[in-house]
Amino acid sequence: MIDVARVDYWAANGSGPFHRASVLSKLLFLAFVVAAAVACRDPYPLAVGTGMLIVLAALAGLPWAVIGALSLYAAVFALLYAVSLRGDGWTYAVLLLKAVTPAYAVGMVIVSTPYPKIFSFLSAFLPEILAAGLFMTYRTLFILLDMMDNFGTAIRLRGGFSPGNIVKNSSNIAKGIGALLVRAVERSSRLYAVMVVRGYNGKMAETTVGAVGVHDWLPVGTGLAVLTTVLLWR
């Protein structure tokens, strides 16, 4: 899994043109790039589109190389899928770019938009339980990742990890996950109590669609440019 804490830091602390754009414009940008990937059956326009995204990310001060590395995660599985299709080099190129291009666009959105802002936008359209669940999951994920890190260190220090002994390792990992789950539930119960004290009434998500501003031309324009490139190439 990607380093959520680092992504969160970039999203919250950046001040480039992409950061200043509204959530709506960035989701539109994402929709255009995904539409381009769906419509495309040729690797060249998608390669051009990916190149445009990389240049934009670099110019906007986003961590373009890290986003590239993150997008390769999707490429690994696309490659496996391509192998199962037994296609030729052309097929491999199309599938890889179909995976990498939207993944790069998602990377650009998440490193420039704090998750709470995205959830806040989605909350306007999603049922309350989903919106609140997304916020709670996001909040708990950091706690769990931290606890998981500590658990990994503890299991090694206490000799609970033996390379080659799958049964022992599985048993210890399962107990660790169980302990993690129990502790996380206890923490969430405390969090719930705190929320109730602070007036939680079942509606915790701020629902803001946000206004369209002057900075929105960049993501919307880029998304449209990628989609237009793909459509014209056909």
Interface with another protein in residues 87-106 (CB under 8 A): 87-91, 94-95, 98-99, 102-103, 106
- Number of residues in contact with another protein, rule: CB under 8 A? 85
Contact 50, 101 (CB under 8 A): yes
Which of 10, 18, 64, 135 is the binder for another protein (CB under 8 A)?
A: 135
* Residue from 213, 209, 212, 217 nearest 29 by CA: 217
Of the candidates 21, 56, 60, 70, which one interacts with another protein according to CB under 8 A?
70
Tell which residue, 39, 168, 165, 155, has the closest CA to residue 97.
39
43/40 Cα distance (integer angstroms): 8
In angstroms, give the least distance from the CB of 166 to another protein: 8
Handedness of CA 72, 78, 82, 88 (dihedral sign): negative
- Which tokens go with 23? 């959530």
Q: Interface with another protein by CB under 8 A: which range of 18-26, 56-64, 129-137, 214-222?
A: 129-137
Residues 165-194 that bind another protein (CB under 8 A): 170-171, 173-175, 177-182, 184-185, 187-189, 191-192
Residues between 19 and 58 that touch another protein (CB under 8 A): 30, 34, 37-42
Task: Note whether 9 binds another protein by CB under 8 A.
Answer: no
Chain-centroid distance of CA 110 in Å reads 6
